[in-house]
Amino acid sequence: MRERIYAEVENGTDALLRAVSLLRKKEFQIVDLDLKLRESSVISDLYITVEGSKENKRMKARDLMEKLYDFKNIKCIEGGKL
């Protein structure tokens, strides 16, 4: 099952690395990853598409990302649109 997630994160690679590390640790396969910097802002828009394994069917990637302290406004995107 694929899940596309959007989150607002602080600029820099730290937030991106935390998200990728957590999802890989929980055996999610990252299918697509996009980090877009906003002009004149300390916030970036992060889009991640993941596919879960058979073992983690009950676990949602969105729920995991909510545990990351600098991730805000986390949403699942239906049909690829926010």
- Better-predicted residue by pLDDT, 79 or 64: 64
Q: For residues 14-30, give the mean pLDDT.
A: 90
Residue 78: DSSP 8-state: B
| Residue pLDDT, tens place only, 25-66 | 988 999 999 999 988 889 999 999 998 766 665 668 888 888
Show the CA angle centred on residue 33, arms to residues 36 and 73, nearest 5°: 60
**Residues 35, 41: Cα–Cα separation, whole Å:** 14
- Better-predicted residue by pLDDT, 37 or 12: 37
Q: At a CB cut-off of 8 Å and minimum separation 6, what does 17 contact?
A: none
To which CATH superfamily is domain 2-76 assigned?
ACT domain (3.30.70.260)
